[in-house]
Each structure stands twice: as C-alpha cells, then as structure tokens.
Amino acid sequence: MELRLDGKVALVTGASRGIGRAVAAAYAEAGARVMLSSRKEDALRTAAASMGGEVDVFAANAGDPDAAAAAVAATVDRFGGLDILVNNAATNPYYGPAVEIDLPRWDKTFQVNLRGLHAWTQAAWRAAMADRGGVVVNVASIGGLSTGAGIGVYNTTKAAVIHLTRVLASELGPGVRVNAVAPGLVKTDMARSLWEEHEAEIARRLPMGRLGEPADIAHAALFLASDLSGWMTGHTLVVDGGALVAAG
C-alpha cells in the first residue's frame, strides 16, 4: 500500500542533513509541499535541490521561539497552510558523565531538544492546527527509553520528548495527532562518533544485523504523518534494528 501525503503541507526542522533531510525528501516524494528548516541556508538549499516535488527553505535556529514562529508563518504564507510538523532538530554539545556536564551545555541541550520542540509545536498550533487540525511527529530516541554511556543528558531530553508527546496528544486531540519515532543508532553525521570506528561490532549485536539509515526513520515518519496511522496518537514508534530487544 502506497503512503501518500497529497495536498498536505509539511514543515521539517533539522532538515539540511541526516534524518531530517530524509524525512523531508520522503514527504516531498509522497506528494506533500515541504518547508525545510535548519540553521544554515546554504545547506538547506543544497538539500532542497536534491529533492523532487514542491519544496522551499527557511533558515531558523530550532532553539529560538521567535525563529520558530517566523518559520511557521513563512510556511503558511508560502504554501497556504500547515498540516504536518516534524520536530527533528536536536543538539548534543556534551559527551561524558551526566554528573560532570557544565550548566551552559545542559541548558543548550534542553533549549533545543525540548523547549524548542515545544515552541515549534505551539507556533504550528496557533498559526494553523488549532483551526484545521494536523499531525505532529517528534523525533525522540531509544536513549529516552534506556541509558547510554556518555550521552545521558541528551537521553534525558529525549525521555522528556516522549512524555511531552503523550501530554500534547492528550491535549490536542481529536484535531491534532501527536506521535514520536524513537530511532536507534542511525548512520548520521551527528552520531558519527558513536558508530564510525565500531560499526561492524555494533551491527553484530543487533538482531537486524546492521545500523540504521536515515531512510529507515523517514519511512516510519511517513507512516505517522499519513492517514494510515489515523487512529494513533500519543505513541512512540521504536525503529532501532532490535537494539532494545538485544539489550534485554
């Protein structure tokens, strides 16, 4: 069964590379008109040029509420509305024991990964979804369902994203569905330090025998945005190659 988003307008944060870029491309291929957003306009334009369909770009810092509102307004102005918001942008400026993190980097991680996600959702709700309904897809992580050495603060933000997904689903239904996808280790530039030197070893421990690709997450995000998931809200869809199963 083909998943289609014809007639829909989507806004994807963190869309210049990795998972966000793959999601934006999948949505455009499925017929949506897509606004790509991230901090760097040149990278956004490079990503957009690689996609078919009707796409545009708007540079914005995901942790800045004013930028979020401006990106949402630009999407509505450019495409006539907003039906799907994908909160994908995230940061992880610190690697090490959670107890040792300095507070500025703690604040930065929460500002982008949690506070920013909420601000983008507020902006989408106020500008379009309160009146016409819609879908929000949050990109969480299996780190929000487990623990992982060195990225405990990042994982804590993702645990909060999973809970916030449930909270918003309970508040915004039935007009707006809010779900999340929780990737395992995906071969992105952001996660490169976690997999590049140990890819084969990590893959051997996974039931599916390989690390994730951005397209694996994009396919799940496409399902969550489509009408085929029309009776799903408040759910976090794990896409991890079996990592949580292997961990017991």
pTM of the model: 0.95
Confidence band for 116, pLDDT divided at 50, 70 and 90 = very high
Q: How far apart (Å, rounded) are the C-alpha atoms in residues 30 and 6?
A: 7
Buried b / exposed e along 89-128 (16+ C-beta atoms within 10 A): bbbbebeeebeebeeeebebbbbbbbbbbbbbbebbbebb
Inside any domain, residue 202: yes
Question: What 3-state DSSP class applies to 102?
Answer: coil
Residue % of the chain over a pLDDT of 90: 87
Inside any domain, residue 61: yes
| pLDDT at 198 (0 to 100) | 77
Which neighbouring-strand residues pair with 237? 181
Among left, alpha and beta (phi > 0; psi -120 to 50; other), residue 219 is: alpha
Inside any domain, residue 247: no
| pLDDT at 192 (0 to 100) | 63
Distance of CA 61 to the CA centre of its chain: 15
Q: How far apart (Å, rounded) are the C-alpha atoms in residues 25 and 36?
A: 10
Confidence band for 244, pLDDT divided at 50, 70 and 90 = very high
| pLDDT at 82 (0 to 100) | 98
- HSE, CB side, 13 Å, CA atoms: give it for residue 114: 18
Inside any domain, residue 245: no
Q: How far apart (Å, rounded) are the C-alpha atoms in residues 187 and 211?
A: 7
| pLDDT at 196 (0 to 100) | 61
Q: The CATH number of the domain where 70 resides is what?
A: 3.40.50.720
Question: What value does the mean pLDDT take over residues 93-114?
Answer: 97
| pLDDT at 130 (0 to 100) | 98
Inside any domain, residue 232: yes
* Residue range of the domain that includes 55: 9-239
| pLDDT at 191 (0 to 100) | 66
| pLDDT at 1 (0 to 100) | 64
Inside any domain, residue 3: no
pLDDT digits (tens, 9 = 90+) for 41-88: 999 999 999 999 999 999 999 999 999 999 999 999 999 999 999 999
Inside any domain, residue 174: yes
Inside any domain, residue 2: no
Query: Per-residue pLDDT for 29 more than 90?
Result: yes
| pLDDT at 32 (0 to 100) | 98
Q: How many domains does the chain have?
A: 1
- Under 8 Å CB-to-CB from 207, ≥6 apart: which residues? 241, 242, 245, 246
Catalytic residues: 154
pLDDT digits (tens, 9 = 90+) for 178-229: 999 999 999 887 766 665 667 788 888 889 998 999 999 999 999 999 999 9
How high is the mean pLDDT of the chain? 95
